[in-house]
Amino acid sequence: MRALLVLSIAVLVCLPFAAAAPNPIPSMTIKMDQSSQSVNATTANQSVTFTGSVSISKPTYLSATVTLTGAVDSGWQATVAPASMTFTSTTPQSFAATVVVPGGTAGGNESKLTVSGVIVSGFLQNTGSATAVIKVVGNVPPANQTGNNTNGTQPSNGDNQTSINPGVTTTYGAPGMLGFSYEQWGWGIGVAVVVLVAVGVYVRARRRRRAALEVETVEEV
Range of lowest pLDDT (63-72, 79-88, 132-141, 175-184): 175-184
H runs (alpha helix) in the chain: 2-20, 182-220
Q: Is the pLDDT of residue 170 over 60?
A: no
What tens digit of pLDDT does each residue of 24-45 get? 889 999 999 999 999 998 889 9
Distances (CA, A) of 111 to 45, 101, 133, 154, 195: 15, 10, 6, 12, 57
Question: Which tens digit of pLDDT belongs to each residue from 70-91?
Answer: 999 999 999 999 999 999 999 9
Measured distance CA(119)–CA(86) in Å, rounded: 10
Helix (H) or strand (E) holding 108: none
CATH class held by domain 27-169 = mainly beta
Residue 42, C-beta contacts closer than 8 angstroms, at least 6 positions apart: 103, 104, 105, 106, 107, 138, 139
Domain ranges of the chain: 2-21+175-220, 27-169
The separation between CA 85 and the C-alpha centre of its own chain, rounded to angstroms, equals 15
b/e map of 31-48 (b: 16 or more CB within 10 Å)? bbeeebeebebeeeebeb
pTM of the model: 0.58
